[in-house]
Amino acid sequence: MDQYVVFGNPIGHSKSPLIHRLFAEQTGEYLEYATLLAPLDAFSDCAWGFFKQGSGANVTVPFKEEAYRLCDSLTPRAQRAGAVNTLSKLEDGTLQGDNTDGAGLVRDLTVNAGVELAGKRILILGAGGAVRGVLEPLLAHQPQSVVVANRTVEKAEQLAHEFDELGPVVASGFAWLHEPVDLIINATSASLAGELPPIADSLVEAGRTACYDMMYAKAPTPFCQWAANLGAAKVLDGLGMLAEQAAEAFFIWRGVRPDTAPVLAELRRQLARG
Ligand SMILES: NC(=O)c1ccc[n+]([C@@H]2O[C@H](COP(=O)([O-])OP(=O)(O)OC[C@H]3O[C@@H](n4cnc5c(N)ncnc54)[C@H](OP(=O)(O)O)[C@@H]3O)[C@@H](O)[C@H]2O)c1
């Protein structure tokens, strides 16, 4: 049976085995998918060991950049992102790296949540690996503007500089922003610490601004609570992005696109149970 894993450290919490088991059941694909805890200093050895037999792997924190360096070849979007979350063993035995995070976010926003991106003003909070992965697919939808705001402004400036040939993207600090926007994406890990990036309430126009936190949790994240209190038109968390990036990986490996709706509903039920 074809073997797949998700590499990470820690990895015990990963929902990827459940997601891919449900995708496999739904599509009639015959595969095994497990977690693989890679030592922090030995990801490459662990990956090469797995790929003696394995067919494909997902990669999560903190190995996405190392996976990028490990691959024999990269898709254009992985090349642009500088990070890899999906590894595939090709027929000639070489490893190809892809990045499905951006496609997952954009599909969750546009298809699942019905959020329009073309001609809109988008604010992204954060300038880490996740933002690097989502800028290209967001800009491909031709928004009016994308502002990348980060605590460490130099990192936002670096990203804006790297991506500005693809569309209207500029950098900012949090304190400089006051005008309402159409969409705010929280791609900081502030929610992990129960914190909210220090941004002005005036960025949300009640009934118009959609707010998306890439994080998800049993209870609404601080960012989602903030957005709901201000009357945001839509308040969304990153569970859909998780399901969609996995579906994109499944499609790369198996050539079949699973229906994410029932899988997302099951993830939501399990998250609520805690
Ligand atoms: N749903 C999904 O499928 C999915 C996929 C990918 C990522 N994510 C989530 O997206 C988030 C970002 O991931 P990443 O890989 O980009 O992480 P990362 O590379 O570690 O970047 C973290 C970012 O958060 C900022 N930050 C951290 N603590 C902060 C605070 N207290 N206040 C303001 N900013 C803060 C950092 O700012 P500095 O640069 O100033 O340190 C940086 O911009 C994580 O929560 C991750 O779980 C979700």
Domain ranges of the chain: 2-99, 102-239
What is the helix (H) or strand (E) element at residue 172, kind and residue range?
strand 169-172
Ligand 1 nearest-atom number relative to CA 242: 3
pLDDT in tens, 54-70: 999 999 989 999 999 99
Contact 240 CB / ligand 1 (< 6 Å): no
**Gap from CA of 61 to ligand 1 centroid (Å):** 11
pLDDT in tens, 109-147: 999 999 999 999 999 999 988 999 999 999 999 999 999
Ligand 1 atom 47 nearest Cα? 215
- The residue among 123, 74, 118 whose CA lies nearest residue 96 is 74
Give the pLDDT mean for 11-24: 96
Percent of the chain with pLDDT over 70: 100
For domain 102-239, give the fold.
Rossmann fold (3.40.50)
Superfamily per CATH, domain 2-99: Leucine Dehydrogenase, chain A, domain 1 (3.40.50.10860)
Write the burial class of residue 256 (CB in 10 Å: 0-12 exposed, 13-18 middle, 19+ buried).
middle
In this structure, what DSSP letter does residue 220 have? P
Token readout for 248 is 């994109």
Instruction: Report whether the peptide linkage leading into residue 62 is cis, meaning its omega lies within 30 degrees of zero.
Output: yes
Give the pLDDT mean for 169-194: 95
The letter for the amino acid at 109 is L
Distance CA 239, CA 237 (A): 6
pLDDT at 234 (0 to 100): 98
Write the burial class of residue 147 (CB in 10 Å: 0-12 exposed, 13-18 middle, 19+ buried).
buried
pLDDT in tens, 66-106: 999 999 999 999 999 999 999 999 999 999 999 999 999 99
Write the burial class of residue 19 (CB in 10 Å: 0-12 exposed, 13-18 middle, 19+ buried).
buried
3-state DSSP helix/strand/coil percent for the chain, to nearest 5?
A: 45, 20, 35
What is the helix (H) or strand (E) element at residue 2, kind and residue range?
strand 2-8
Ligand 1 atom 19 nearest Cα? 128
Token readout for 121 is 């003003």
pLDDT over threshold 90, residue 274: no
Ligand 1 nearest-atom number relative to CA 132: 16
Ligand 1 nearest-atom number relative to CA 189: 45
DSSP per-residue codes, 28-78? T--EEEEEEE--TT-HHHHHHHHTTT--EEEE-TT-HHHHHHH-SEE-HHH
Give the pLDDT mean for 14-22: 97
Centre a 10 Å sphere on the Cβ of residue 194 and count the other Cβ atoms it contains.
9
Q: Cβ neighbours of residue 114 under 8 Å, at least 6 residues apart? A: none
Ligand 1 nearest-atom number relative to CA 126: 43
Q: Order of strands, edge to edge, in the sheet holding 169-172? A: 169-172, 145-149, 121-125, 183-186, 210-213, 234-237
**Gap from CA of 126 to ligand 1 centroid (Å):** 6
Residue pair 240/113 in contact by the 8 Å Cβ criterion: yes
Fold: same for 2-99 and 102-239: yes
**Mean pLDDT of the residues in the chain:** 96
Distance CA 54, CA 135 (A): 31
Ligand 1 atom 48 nearest Cα? 214
Give the pLDDT mean for 195-199: 95
Token readout for 3 is 């073997």
Contact 152 CB / ligand 1 (< 6 Å): yes
pLDDT at 191 (0 to 100): 86
Contact 150 CB / ligand 1 (< 6 Å): yes
Contact 248 CB / ligand 1 (< 6 Å): no
**Gap from CA of 187 to ligand 1 centroid (Å):** 5
- The residue among 162, 43, 78, 180 whose CA lies nearest residue 122 is 180
Q: Is 120 a catalytic residue?
A: no
| pLDDT band, residue 192 (cuts 50/70/90) | confident
Ligand 1 atom 31 nearest Cα? 190
pLDDT at 129 (0 to 100): 85
Token readout for 33 is 């998918």
